[in-house]
A = this chain, B = another copy of it.
Amino acid sequence: MVDKPAPDASRRSEKSRRAIYDAALALVGEVGYPKTTVEGIAARAGVGKQTIYRWWSSKADVLLEAFLDLGEQAALAAREAGQGAPRTYALPDTGDLAADLKLVLRATVDELLDPRFEAPSRALAAEGVVNEQLGREFVTKLLEPQLQLYVDRLRAAQDAGHVRPGVDPRIALELFVSPLAQRWLQRTAPISHEYTDTLVDYALHGLAPRDA
């Protein structure tokens, strides 16, 4: 047996890696996904094209990793600011489902309104709508892992008797996550903390009267 090589990340210069992520996110936000190239990212990051190809196989790979990193940075910042557990690992579970969901969705609203996040996210989401392969990769690697955190939280709520036993958590989470996503993506209406609080209340307690 030989020693395992060090993981990719550790062989990369942290500074170059960050510069490449920043360049990729800025570029895709400015010119869109189709016009973003590995050459363009390299030029903007001040590295050679081969440096990028040594670590990633395509512009899609660079971007997906840059987004994962952006999410991790946001989670780290939120943790440091004391705004709950990092979103990438588990949702908070204080035993109060409504309060926990409201906290996380408020943080998501803040993230969606953050200009660093907005343009590149829109560019990638738009490409995913028409480019099925990238769309599926984007969902599998970025979106679905985040949605699974809601599944876990809703399962725990089911165990605690706070969600009806027959409810499918993977569908249930869409009642509050998807409205926010659609308002943001399609600009159908403004988003705010008050709005996501309302979504959580409606989803948990239903639109029909209690005696219906």
Q: Please report A residues at the B interface, Cβ cutoff 8 Å.
A: 32, 97, 122-123, 125-130, 132, 135-136, 138-139, 143-144, 147, 154, 161-164, 167-168, 170-172, 174-175, 177-179, 181-183, 185-189, 195, 198-199, 202-210, 212
Contact = CB atoms under 8 A, between A and B. Distances in A.
What does DSSP make chain A's interface, helix, strand, loop or mixed? helix
A150 B95 CA distance: 34
A207 B172 contact: yes
A198 B168 contact: yes
Nearest to A211: B210
A163 B207 contact: yes
Contact of A175 (B139, B164, B179): B179
A121 to B, nearest CB: 9
A175 B203 contact: yes
A107 B205 CA distance: 27
